[in-house]
Structure 1
Amino acid sequence: MAARSLEIGAAGIRAARTIEIIRTERGLAQRQLADHVTALGHPMSNTMLSRIERAQRRCDVDDLVLIAEALLVSPLVLLQEPRAL
């Protein structure tokens, strides 16, 4: 049985875009944010973060909470409609 691709829904797309916007506003490279998340105890590579931001990888609840913590925002902020750059 072939593995089924997991579709990313509207909330996942919003979170992906908002993560990228906030990261960029804070002047962080993907590598820096991934390193912050890893330092919080949740290993993350810049490739993983890049895929999350491009909505090519699901952002699970653990990813979401620790990315939010690394960005110093509430996880709820990442689920809201993103602001334009």
Structure 2
Amino acid sequence: MKQDHRTLRNSVQLTQRGLSQRQLAARCAALGNPMSNTTVSRIERGQRGCDVDDLIVIAQALRVPFPVLLHGPILQ
């Protein structure tokens, strides 16, 4: 799946407020997808892409709907 890194990066940064990269990585690992805080940092900076499995786990770890990571938060 081709993902616009800017959208993903912005979505992750907006949704992880109050959660460190290390905590997000630990949540991903607890959900069965080991990920280092360095990996989380690279995803945020757009230096690393994600496959669908990574996106699903990150969304679950952030407790946001999967589409939020793909399209960004829905502003009302």
Would the TM-score normalized by the shorter structure come out above 0.5?
yes
Consecutive unaligned residues of structure 2, counting only runs of 5 or more, are: none
1:1-85 mapped onto 2 (5 Å cutoff): 11-24=4-17, 27-81=18-72
Number of residue pairs aligned between Structure 1 and Structure 2: 73
The answer to whether the 8 A contact 2:3-2:50 is kept is no
Residue segments in structure 1 that go unaligned for 5+ positions in a row: 1-8
* Runs of 4+ that moved beyond 6 A: none
Taking structure 2 as the reference length, the TM-score comes to 0.86
1:56 CA drift (Å): 0.2
Larger Rg: 1
Give me the TM-score of the superposition, normalised by structure 1: 0.77
Structure 1, residues 37-76: CA drift from partner, whole Å, max 9, x if none? 0000000000000000000000211111000001111110
